Structure formats: C-alpha cells, structure tokens
Amino acid sequence: MSDILIIKAKYLESKKLGYLEMFLDTDKTLNHANVIYEILGFEGTKRYYENPMQETRYMTLVF
C-alpha cells in the first residue's frame, strides 16, 4: 500500500501546482503497477510518444 500513498502524494502535489492531467507509461506485463494505477483512476490513452518497447501501456489521469 505504500506504493499507492507515494503516487497519491505526487498526484495531490501536481494538482496543487495547477496541472490538469498526469501521463505515465508502464509495461503491460507489470501487473502490480497496472493494478495500482487503475485503483488511482488512471485510464488507457493513445500513444503519446514513440517508444520502441512493444509492451508499453500508455495511461492518463485527468484531475
């Protein structure tokens, strides 16, 4: 659960600074990370940069 608290703290800090969205990319096979991001409200989004890794999952969170 400490992973969720760290990400949540960064989310709140970003929101306080005026950011409207948070983007991240992760590996589709990192199940633990993907579950955490989904719990926090991140959703899949279109590819936002060229990445040579085939298993990349692009995600965004709108504040």
Going by the DSSP 8-state scheme, the letter that residue 49 receives in this structure is S
What mean pLDDT, rounded, does the chain reach? 93
Query: In the beta sheet, which residues pair with residue 56?
Result: 27
Six-digit token string for 35: 């579950």
- Stated pTM of the model: 0.83
Residue ranges per structural domain of the chain? 2-62
Give residue-wise pLDDT tens across range 27-39. Answer: 999 999 999 999 9
CA distances, 55 to each of 25, 26, 49 (Å): 10, 8, 14
Task: Tell me which of 3.40.190.10, 3.40.630.30, 3.40.50.300, 3.30.420.40 is the CATH number of domain 2-62.
Answer: 3.40.630.30
Region 6-31 average pLDDT? 94
User: CA end-to-end span of the chain, whole Å?
Assistant: 22
What pLDDT shows up at residue 2? Answer: 84
Task: Say how far apart CA 3 and CA 29 lie, in whole Å.
Answer: 18
